[in-house]
């Protein structure tokens, strides 16, 4: 959403209160963390999460990290095995993100995890985002607060340069101490895997992950339905489950504008997967703004594996 004016305010009590109100109203707000500034939204509100992608101009839906206040909240959203629990005990609050199996029915919007069965969880240490978590009482989905393709911001002014006019508010908490994004470790099967290097040197992981780190956003585990999928369909065949857009309603309707469509995309794909129709068809979706990210994800889902 274009916001004509982006304000920067101190991350003090009144700043946190204002930011909390915006977030609870479904708006994204930039907030300092100890790694880099994040663009935070209510992780339980799909439209709010869609606005984060829209503001960043991300060409694709990468899963977002969900920030929570403490370990016990994390365990309500994901299943931490013993190894994950040990890392959490050692490094939370701090620059560690754990990718773990997501818990069903936790209320996290499917767009946050990009339809995957896993969730990235982090308990941040910075007082500003901790205060915001406390004030909103919601899990916050937050990618780095920069437009797609530019480097991560470590000061409020960096965020303004990158996202000015695209978000309503930036909380200023001074420079980020760490300056690089969190270390990401997956604990989804047996053993731990390093997905992204970061500020932490974790014993045993740096060596085994060397050179073989899965690039963020390029994960083989990207969600795709198991049924064949056809794009740009105006007239579906009888054996096709139609995902509709605009005038064309279909059996699951994405809505008539792009933020709403992004918010519903993965839910509709999951409905299509669960239906008794053997094939999926998707109505034409405009290829600009968030529509480009939607079409990118659908094109990948349509590629036979």
Residues making contact with Mg ion (CB under 5 A): 144
Measured distance CA(12)–CA(31) in Å, rounded: 12
Size of the chain in residues = 305
**DSSP reduced 3-state for 267:** helix
Which element (helix H / strand E) includes 2? none
* 99 scored as a contact of ligand TXA (CB under 6 A): yes
Q: How far apart are CA 152 and CA 27, in angstroms?
A: 20
Among 38, 57, 115, 225, the residue binding ligand TXA under the rule CB under 6 A is 38
Q: Do 52 and 262 meet the contact criterion of CB atoms below 8 Å apart?
A: no
Instruction: Among 11, 29, 30, 36, indicate the residue that binds ligand TXA (CB under 6 A).
Output: 36
Q: Which is nearer to ligand TXA, 77 or 281 (CB)?
A: 77
- Smallest distance, Å, CB 218 to ligand TXA? 8
Nearer to ligand TXA, 65 or 282 (CB): 65
For residue 174, the 8-state DSSP code is: -
Q: Applying CB under 6 A, does 35 fall inside the site for ligand TXA?
A: yes
Q: Interacting stretch for ligand TXA, rule CB under 6 A, among 62-70, 131-139, 158-166, 272-280?
A: 62-70
Radius of gyration of the chain (CA): 19
Name every residue whose Cβ is closer than 8 Å to that of residue 140 and which is 6 or more positions away in sequence. 23, 31, 38, 40, 41, 42, 43, 66, 67, 68, 129, 132, 133
Q: Which does 216 bind (CB under 5 to 8 A by kind): ligand TXA, Mg ion, none?
A: ligand TXA
Compare residues 123 and 282 and give the one whose CB is closer to ligand TXA: 123
For the chain, the first-to-last Cα distance in angstroms comes to 35
Please give the DSSP secondary-structure letter assigned to residue 64. Answer: P
Place of tokens 């990235």: 120
Element (H, E) at 168: none
Choice between 181 and 240, CB closer to ligand TXA: 181
Smallest separation, CB 55 to ligand TXA (Å): 13
Of 46-54, 167-175, 176-184, 201-209: span binding ligand TXA (CB under 6 A): 176-184
Site string for ligand TXA, 257-296 (x = CB under 6 A): ----------------------------------------
36 binds, among ligand TXA, Mg ion, none (CB under 5 to 8 A by kind): ligand TXA
The span from the CA of 265 to the CA of 201, in Å, is: 37
CA dist 49 → 128, 179, 208, 264 (Å)? 20, 24, 34, 11
* Binding stretches for ligand TXA (CB under 6 A): 33, 35-36, 38, 62-65, 95, 97, 99, 113, 116, 118-120, 122, 142-144, 181-182, 184, 195, 216-217, 219
């Amino acid at each position: 959403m274009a916001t004509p004016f982006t304000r920067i305010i101190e991350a003090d009590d009144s700043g946190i209160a204002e930011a909390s109100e915006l977030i609870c109203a479904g708006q994204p707000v930039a907030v300092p963390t100890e790694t880099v500034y994040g663009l935070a939204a209510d992780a339980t509100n799909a439209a709010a999460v869609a606005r984060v992608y829209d503001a960043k101009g991300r060409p694709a839906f990468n899963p977002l990290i969900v920030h929570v206040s403490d370990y016990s909240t994390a365990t309500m959203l994901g299943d931490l095995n013993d190894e994950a629990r040990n890392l959490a005990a050692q490094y939370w609050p701090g620059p560690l993100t754990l990718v773990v199996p997501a818990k069903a029915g936790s209320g996290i919007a499917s767009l946050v995890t990009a339809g995957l069965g896993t969730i990235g969880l982090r308990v941040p240490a910075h007082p500003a985002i901790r205060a915001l978590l406390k004030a909103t009482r919601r899990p916050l989905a937050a990618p780095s607060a920069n437009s797609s393709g530019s480097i991560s911001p470590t000061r409020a002014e960096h965020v303004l340069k990158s996202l000015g006019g695209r978000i309503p508010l930036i909380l200023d908490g001074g420079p980020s101490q760490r300056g690089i994004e969190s270390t990401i470790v997956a604990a989804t099967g047996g053993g731990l895997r390093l997905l992204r290097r970061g500020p932490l040197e974790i014993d045993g992981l740096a060596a085994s992950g060397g050179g073989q780190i899965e690039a963020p956003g390029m994960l083989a585990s990207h969600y795709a339905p198991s049924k064949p999928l056809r794009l740009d369909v105006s007239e579906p065949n009888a054996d096709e489950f139609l995902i509709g857009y605009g005038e064309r309603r279909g059996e699951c309707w994405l809505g008539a504008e792009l933020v709403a469509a992004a918010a519903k995309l993965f839910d509709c794909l999951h409905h299509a997967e669960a239906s008794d129709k053997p094939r999926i068809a998707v109505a034409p979706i405009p290829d600009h703004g968030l529509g480009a990210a939607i079409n990118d994800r659908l094109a990948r889902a349509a590629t036979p594996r």
